Amino acid sequence: MTKGKKVLAITLATTMAFSCLTACGSKKGGNNEAKPTPTAIIEDLVKVDPELGITAPDEVENNADAQKVSLKVWAPAEEQDLMEKLCTTFDKAHAEYDIDFTYEVSSEADAANNLTNDPQSAADVFMFAGDQLSNLADGNLLFDLSALIPDNPEIEEKYDDQAYNSCLIDGKLLAFPFTANQFFMYYNKSMLTEEEVKSLDDILAKDLGTAPSGEKVKNFGFDLANGWYILAFMYGNGCTLYGDGTQEKECNWNNEDGKAVVKYLNNMIATGKFFSNANDDGLPLLEKGELATVVTGSWNSNAVKAKLGDNYAACVLPTFKIDGKECHMKPFADFKMIGVNAFAGEPRPAAELAYFLADNYSQWQRLQIRSYAPTVKILQDYVTDDTKEKPEPIDPAVIAATEQMSAENSSLRPTTPQLKNYWSFGQNLGSLIYKQDERITDESKMQDTLDLIVKGITTVL
Amino acid sequence: MENNTGNGQNNYQTTPCHEVDYDRALPIVLGQIFTYGDLFTKLSFLIMGFSNIIRGQIIKGFIFLLTEVMFFYFLLMEKGGTYHLDRLISLGTTPASQADGPFGKITPNDDSRKCLLYGIGTVIIIFAFLALWAESLKSGYEAQYFVAKGKRPNSFYRDIQIYFDKKIYRTLLFLPIVGISIFTITPIIFMICIGFTNYNAKHNGYTKLVDWIGFDMFGKVLHMGKDPDGTVNMFSHTFWSVLGWTLIWAVATTFLCYIFGMILAMVINRKGIKFKKFWRTLFITSVAVPQFVSLLIMRSFLSEFGLLNSFLRNFGLNPPDWLGDSTLAKVVVIVVNLWVGIPYTMLITTGILMNIPAELYEAAKVDGANAVTTFFKITLPYMIFVTTPYLIQQFIGNINNFNVIYLLTGGGPNMDTSKYQAGDTDLLVTWLYKLTTDSKDFNLASVIGMLIFILSATFSLITYRSSGSYKNEEEFQ
């Protein structure tokens, strides 16, 4: 080896090693650091309706000895703009704090994961999907917001009961619900009347003839092979998951009530009027007039509105009759929530901010700007009251979501982290019923199959 | 020995003293050094570099000594080596806890994941130190040898020079090895260790600490027989059935892609086929579209109410749910994978086919062999000989073929009531993915990862070592 070659080789090896180091270094930035341009630009916050009893907070000068606080806030990309405005409003309304906000993008679905991975560098206040609550609570990652109640006793009465209870675990208030995040039913007004959509049996009984395309019209679109949806039927007939929600070894879906639901669903498939709405397959059919109803959530309201046009309507999930008994479909009452990181450096201002972001004023803004179904009683009344004059008509989907979250029409999510086991087996059950597999249609095998599914749901690793 | 001491460098190269054989295993060498070393060399076992210092290699000796001091300082300092080793065993004792009072702050405390990581780091540092210690003993003994022979031991400058001359491989490999230790070896050890802990959804490591649980997870996965209540054991049932399907999938996709790719290449390669380049380009275009795009399009194309089925319905047919029926879905994913995989095989085989000497075929023709005979006697043996390593690599790649399964079916349909977090078309690797992202059973996932590695490594070693390309490397030259 000549000297020149050696030098070259060493240089190359060093460069390679360093480029490796730098490549790894730059990746460390993580997915939360970069803040993309907000997608929804809001000109200004919406004026408050004085008749409602909601007031905009007053702007005040900071005290001379105002506490310097820095807070990191996570919100999904489409919420950034509104979030920044609300946070600024909060800062201006509090003379005792001088707050320096940092905003980062984290979708509600990812927030819990991002927080769990590294709570110490995560946000102080963050929006997250309510299905993550039990996992976060189990890891003691949420600040107990009950600490706010002595100063703000109205909290306990302000929220819808089901919404408030969804945020309670072991008597601790671990988050504030700011909107409903659940499914209900959209339907075609020209095919079914307001009366008919109240009962699934009436919906299925009606003969809707054939669509212009020559296809037979399907009456009921529902994502059966999906644990999140199918449990609405089971809970409707009194079956529960994990007992009172904390017993990881409890599940009674293999009892007589559970079997009755399975038989009901088997009959529903047999009518031939059922449509499986997996992957939102039903939406294009709405437009073609081949499907009369579809069960999905607020996230699809714009898509459904576009497909149905003037025939667009929404309502709570229908009831169904088992052995003459009227059952309400009861999906989980699911909410989007705002929580405070238990590792927050400044828990008090963080908790107060979280409360403000889920309070009347902020929910009013979200209702007007983003059509988010409210969870505070005062706005729920406003939304569901037909007699009241409104500047703009409320989207029927918002009304349906609001009604769906009542205790009569929904059930509380189990709080045990064991719930993670359920989804795959719920999908199992739904798939077997939808495909009319003999393991679930044959009465002699049905019990064994349900026993196995229950075993899976309750098996602890 | 005596007449071989022309200059220092030569001395350095030859075995310095017939008593110590440096080619032998390290403990034996160290034992020999201890036996034949004088007092200073023996003292070097405790005080690194002592022998070098005494014999005039001051800088080198002090570097050794300084390393030793630093190492022991690292071990014994507050939150140093012994602290990390202790925490590697306990994986943390105090979880983070909240201060009293309604707005009490949380004090972060032990983090099991950091305990594990720093513990592993400490173990690696200890091993690195031991290697340096052994090196210093050799160096000390060499110094003793030089002095005994009446020579001056190497100066520090000379030692450095050697690292740019005879030992340049060490200099060149130093940074890559450090990089690999930090970015590859440590993470792998970390991941393997997780398989022996209870790190999962219920133990996040800082508010709920993690503990060692030994081989529990292996026991769960490899469990034989039924549960006490007479029903199948969910975890082992999932593992064995997913493993079974993974093997069927890997064999089917590898060999079907190979056979069809080869047939396609031979057809295009035939004499008399016009526009060869055009045909090759045509078939290769499916590679030009990113795989995940074409797979997602396939998914919606094949879905129950997708394009294909509405097309078939227009003809009054009652088409099946391609991806919704267990058996059918398995066939469909294999077929779709053919469409993705054949062009690659075609490319590779085209090159090899063009390389087969034409004289072989001419000779066969003269001997009166027909097309089938020439294929089985000339083309196929040649192909197999050249492509066995490629086939092995394809097979392993297919065992771990995440994209096709995940993007096409997501592991579904999910018709088996006794599978834990796995659908009917899930491979081990997609199951592993679900375990880490959906149910957060990191320890179980780690065990699955290890088993996949054992499976792939064993298979590749056995097949590769018994392949023609390994045994008769020269045969076709």
Asked whether the predicted pLDDT for residue B3 surpasses 50, the reply is: no
Interface test with A, best of B97, B98, B106 (most A CBs within 10 A): B106
Q: Which of A140, A150, A452 sits opposite B418 (nearest CB)?
A: A452
B 375-414 residues with CB < 8 A to A:
412-414
- What pLDDT is stored for residue A28 in this prediction? 34
Q: 3-class DSSP state for residue A337?
A: strand
- What pLDDT is stored for residue A333 in this prediction? 92
Provide, as residue numbers in chain A, all residues whose Cβ is less than 8 Å from the Cβ of B309. none
Q: Can you tell me the distance from the alpha carbon of A361 to that of A93, in angstroms, rounded to the nearest whole number? A: 13
CA distances from A155 to A159, A358, A372, A381 (A): 7, 11, 20, 17
B417 touches chain A (CB under 8 A): yes
Considering only the top CATH level, what class is A185-331+418-458? alpha beta
Provide, as residue numbers in chain A, all residues whose Cβ is less than 8 Å from the Cβ of B208. 138-140
Provide, as residue numbers in chain A, all residues whose Cβ is less than 8 Å from the Cβ of B304. 276, 278, 281
Give me the architecture of the B234-471 domain, per CATH. Answer: Orthogonal Bundle (1.10)
Q: Can you tell me the distance from the alpha carbon of B253 to that of B427, in angstroms, rounded to the nearest whole number? A: 13
Mean pLDDT score of chain B = 87
What are the two backbone dihedrals, phi and then psi, of residue A196, each rounded to the nearest 5 degrees? -65, -35
Model confidence at B2, pLDDT cuts 50, 70, 90, reads very low
Q: Can you tell me the distance from the alpha carbon of B30 to that of B20, in angstroms, rounded to the nearest whole number? A: 9
> Each residue of B175-227: pLDDT tens digit?
999 999 899 999 999 999 999 999 988 888 888 899 999 999 999 899 887 88
- What pLDDT is stored for residue B27 in this prediction? 76
Residue A346 CB-half CA count within 13 A: 17
CB A424 within 8 A of CB A455: no
- What pLDDT is stored for residue A16 in this prediction? 53
Please judge whether A348 and B103 are an interchain contact, meaning their C-beta atoms are less than 8 angstroms apart: yes
The alpha carbon of B326 is separated from its chain's Cα centroid by a whole number of angstroms, namely 32
- What pLDDT is stored for residue A302 in this prediction? 92
- What pLDDT is stored for residue A432 in this prediction? 94
CATH 1.10.3720.10 domain locations along chain B: 234-471
Helices (H), B229-290: 234-269, 276-288
B325 touches chain A (CB under 8 A): yes
- What pLDDT is stored for residue A460 in this prediction? 85
Beta carbon pairs, A and B, within 8 Å: 125
CB B420 within 8 A of CB A437: no
CA distance A206 to chain B (A): 23
Provide, as residue numbers in chain B, all residues whose Cβ is less than 8 Å from the Cβ of A459. 234, 420
Q: Can you tell me the distance from the alpha carbon of B440 to that of B446, in angstroms, rounded to the nearest whole number? A: 11
Q: 3-class DSSP state for residue B103?
A: coil
| Percent share of chain B, pLDDT over 90 | 44
**What's the whole-number mean pLDDT along residues B349-353?**
88
Query: Is the omega angle on the peptide bond into residue B413 within 30 degrees of 0, that is, cis?
Result: yes
Query: What does the DSSP assignment read for B138-172?
Result: HHHHHHHHHHHTT-PPPPHHHHHHHHTTTTHHHHH
Query: What does the DSSP assignment read for A219-280?
Result: SEEE--SSHHHHHHHHHHTT--BSTTTT-TT-B-TTSHHHHHHHHHHHHHHHTT-EEE-GGG
Q: In what order do the strands lie in the sheet with A220-222?
A: A274-276, A220-222, A293-297, A183-188, A312-315
Asked whether the predicted pLDDT for residue B18 surpasses 60, the reply is: no
Question: Residue B422's closest chain A neighbor by CA?
Answer: A424
Closest C-alpha among A175, A216, A456, A188 to residue B415: A456
The alpha carbon of B185 is separated from its chain's Cα centroid by a whole number of angstroms, namely 10
Other CB atoms within 10 Å distance of the CB of residue B322: 23
Asked whether the predicted pLDDT for residue B337 surpasses 80, the reply is: yes
B171 touches chain A (CB under 8 A): yes
Does the domain at A50-180+334-404 match CATH 3.40.190.10? Answer given as yes
Please judge whether A146 and B102 are an interchain contact, meaning their C-beta atoms are less than 8 angstroms apart: yes
> Each residue of A38-69: pLDDT tens digit?
444 555 677 777 777 788 888 888 888 889 99
The alpha carbon of B279 is separated from its chain's Cα centroid by a whole number of angstroms, namely 38
Looking at residue B402, its amino acid is: F
> Each residue of A247-279: pLDDT tens digit?
989 999 999 999 999 999 999 999 999 999 988
B416 touches chain A (CB under 8 A): yes
Closest C-alpha among A415, A417, A436 to residue A175: A415
**What's the whole-number mean pLDDT along residues B116-126?**
94
> Each residue of B277-325: pLDDT tens digit?
898 888 888 888 888 888 999 998 998 888 899 899 888 888 898 998 8
Model confidence at B448, pLDDT cuts 50, 70, 90, reads very high
Provide, as residue numbers in chain A, all residues whose Cβ is less than 8 Å from the Cβ of B305. 281, 285
Q: pLDDT tens per residue, chain A (461 residues)? A: 455 566 556 555 555 554 444 444 333 333 443 444 444 455 567 777 777 778 888 888 888 888 999 999 999 998 899 999 999 999 999 999 999 999 999 999 999 989 988 888 999 999 999 989 988 988 888 999 999 999 999 998 999 999 999 999 988 999 999 999 889 999 999 999 999 999 999 999 999 988 888 888 999 999 999 999 999 999 999 999 999 888 989 999 999 999 999 999 999 999 999 999 988 889 999 999 999 999 999 999 999 999 999 999 999 999 999 999 999 999 999 999 999 999 898 899 999 999 999 999 999 999 988 889 999 999 999 888 888 778 788 899 999 999 999 989 999 999 888 888 899 999 999 999 999 999 999 989 999 999 999 999 998 87
- What pLDDT is stored for residue B72 in this prediction? 95
Of residues B125 and B269, the one with the higher pLDDT is: B125
Residue with tokens 């008090």: A348
- What pLDDT is stored for residue B468 in this prediction? 73
- What pLDDT is stored for residue A20 in this prediction? 44
Please judge whether A431 and B414 are an interchain contact, meaning their C-beta atoms are less than 8 angstroms apart: yes
Query: What does the DSSP assignment read for A352-402?
Result: HHHHHHTSHHHHHHHHHHH-PPP-BHHHHHHHH-SSS--SSPPPHHHHHHH
Q: 3-class DSSP state for residue B117?
A: helix
Q: What angle do CA B174, B178, B180 make, to 5 degrees?
A: 115
Please judge whether B414 and A116 are an interchain contact, meaning their C-beta atoms are less than 8 angstroms apart: no
Closest C-alpha among B392, B393, B394, B374 to residue B382: B374
ipTM value, please give it: 0.81
CB A175 within 8 A of CB A145: yes
Structural element, H or E, at residue B443: helix B442-465
Asked whether the predicted pLDDT for residue B386 surpasses 70, the reply is: yes
Classify residue A6 as exposed, middle or buried by CB count within 10 Å of its CB (0-12, 13-18, 19+): middle
Q: Which of A13, A225, A417 sits opposite B201 (nearest CB)?
A: A417
Question: Residue B205's closest chain A neighbor by CA?
Answer: A139
B32 touches chain A (CB under 8 A): no
Domain ranges (residues) in chain A:
50-180+334-404, 185-331+418-458
